[in-house]
Amino acid sequence: MQFAKIETPRRSRSARGRAIFISALLGCTSIAGGAVGQTYDLAILHGRVMDPESGLDGLRNVAVSQGKIVRVTRRPIRGRSVIDASGLVVAPGFIDLHAHDHSPLTHRLHAQDGVTTALELENGAFPVRAWYASRVGVSAINFGVSASHGVIRAIALTGLDERRVTGDLEADIKLLEGKADWQNPPSDAAERLRMIDLVGKELDDGAVGVGYHLATTPGADTAELSALFAAAAQRSAPNFIHIRSVGQVTPSTAAREVIAIAKSTGASVHIVHVNSSGLWDTADILTQVKEAQRTSLDVTTEAYPYTGAMTALDDPRSGAEGMATYRSSFHDLELVATGERLTAETYEAAKRRDPHGALIAHVMTLDNVDLALENPLVMAASDGEAYHDGKGHPRGAGTFSRIFSRYVREKQTVPLMQAIAKVSLMPARRLEAYVPDMKLRGRIQKGAIADITIFDADKIADRATYENPTAPSAGIAYVLVAGRAVVDRYRFQDDVKPGVPIYGAGLKAPAKR
């Protein structure tokens, strides 16, 4: 995937003067022409419009009506509502392919980070119909979900009554307590057929592909993945996959496995968070993805711009043996509740107090994180999870703004246009073969849905930290979802809920609330 190289204009006084003069000229012309021509629902005036698909980078006015962009022009326009975007970038709304939590708090933080669409595609949900129905009409931003391989596998291997499953993953896991082991044993032919049947039903209900977390289902062997990938390929549905974890196989081997299955089945595969799955093998996995694309395989990947991963005290990977496997120590574990770095002794004490306590595992190097996000093939995604009493990981609040503050401004290793592509066009293209709506998102073009993020390129920055993980990002002036402002003049609008469900092409009947 290639994008036009657009140089950021120099910030000289003369350049600023010319921009102010042009903005003033456009403004005067707009007033002069106000009595003539169409009045749109919304006019976005004098912004630096950047469209990563066409390469457009210039001062334009954008007209919006009935939730869509109807005009992008140098000519004056007028609107019933007006946004003066002078000095700001007008970009496609950011699309997060990897957002686990869809609570009002997290959606607010996503919106303040420029996100207009957040999708749970790694873990997924089951049944997706219930997951969608609980969110229709009450979401600030767009939302969508994949079919959960993990829950489907549990149903197939334990005989759990699927009618008891609610779509709330945490609640549904409790249904499996006391059931036969469904994570570790391989499936037999009958169980695989049951999984394929359930996946098909979920795709019929609008699932955005199939989500797999092989770190938690090591029994899902090549035979099982091949069967499910082939079934998904028959429907042209993508697969979103957390490759096997360190300790099962090496990261390079884990990536090679799913790419080989993609090749043998013709499946579409997206490898989630290459930074935390790849670790010291990140460079090799990126090479594998590049080679796969060179041979016309539909394989993509993503990363988030932090060195800490989320885990928990009851995750076997967080113990002494797990830390050794990750080439880390207990000091690399941070207890979310207190912020303290652990020792072998304090780890055991914390586990006795709260066996399920959340941890941040600082197991990645910044060099490998940078390597991933500076690679033109890699898009950004947050892997954001729920916050509890304001505690959690900053990636749920700051991922997208951090792409701009760290890589565009500070390191200057990613051009502004390419950064916009990483957070908008590339995720849209990843989905659009199976999600028709995505052909109308990730662009600032006539006919596109008016999901738009307007930001100050000099000030956009993440403010969330491990100590204060819910601090909203800075520099995001407006976030429009179908033309309605959920962030207006840097402030989140609590009473605006324009978010709509994003469904896969298999949908036969939409969910209702």
Q: 61: domain range?
A: 13-87
Please report whether residue 420 resides in a domain: yes
Number of domains in the chain: 2
Instruction: Please say which residue of 53, 87, 121 terminates a domain.
Output: 87
User: Measured between alpha carbons, how far is 169 from 126 in angstroms, rounded to an integer?
Assistant: 8
pTM of the complete model: 0.91
User: Measured between alpha carbons, how far is 258 from 242 in angstroms, rounded to an integer?
Assistant: 10
pLDDT tens, N- to C-terminus, the chain (513 residues)? 333 333 333 334 344 444 433 343 333 333 333 334 799 999 999 999 999 999 999 999 999 999 999 999 999 999 999 999 999 999 999 999 999 999 999 999 999 999 999 999 999 999 999 999 999 999 999 999 999 999 999 999 999 999 999 988 778 878 888 788 999 999 999 999 999 999 999 999 999 999 999 999 999 999 999 999 999 999 999 999 999 988 789 999 999 999 999 999 999 999 999 999 999 999 999 999 999 999 999 999 999 999 999 989 988 778 787 788 888 888 999 999 999 999 999 999 998 999 889 999 999 999 999 999 999 999 999 999 999 999 999 999 999 999 999 999 999 999 999 999 999 999 999 999 999 999 999 999 999 999 999 999 999 999 999 999 999 999 999 999 999 999 999 999 999 999 999 999 999 877 765
**Cβ–Cβ < 8 Å for 295, 260:** no
Structure tokens at 22: 């042009």
Q: Where do the DSSP E strands lie in 85-158?
A: 89-92, 94-96, 115-125, 142-148
Beta-carbon contacts of 196 under 8 Å, excluding residues fewer than 6 positions away, are: 227, 228, 231
**Cβ–Cβ < 8 Å for 130, 156:** no
Helix H or strand E encompassing 70: strand 68-73
Q: Judge if 158 and 282 occupy the same domain.
A: yes
Q: Judge if 97 and 242 occupy the same domain.
A: yes
As a whole number of Å, the end-to-end CA separation of the chain is: 39
Q: Where do the DSSP E strands lie in 366-470?
A: 378-380, 452-455
Q: Judge if 80 and 98 occupy the same domain.
A: no
Instruction: Please say which residue of 442, 458, 488 terminates a domain.
Output: 442
Q: Tell me the pairing of strands 268-271 and 238-242.
A: parallel
Instruction: Please say which residue of 37, 58, 87 terminates a domain.
Output: 87
User: Measured between alpha carbons, how far is 200 from 87 in angstroms, rounded to an integer?
Assistant: 49
- Give the domain CATH number at 118: 3.20.20.140
Q: Judge if 127 and 166 occupy the same domain.
A: yes
Place of tokens 């594998």: 288
**Cβ–Cβ < 8 Å for 411, 393:** no
Q: Judge if 49 and 99 occupy the same domain.
A: no
On the question of a cis peptide bond just before residue 427, with omega within 30 degrees of 0, the verdict is: no
- Give the domain CATH number at 74: 2.30.40.10
Q: Judge if 114 and 253 occupy the same domain.
A: yes
**Cβ–Cβ < 8 Å for 502, 437:** yes
Q: Judge if 17 and 125 occupy the same domain.
A: no
Structure tokens at 119: 């999708």
Q: Judge if 193 and 265 occupy the same domain.
A: yes
Hey, CA dihedral for 294, 296, 299, 303, is it positive or negative?
A: positive
User: Measured between alpha carbons, how far is 210 from 235 in angstroms, rounded to an integer?
Assistant: 11
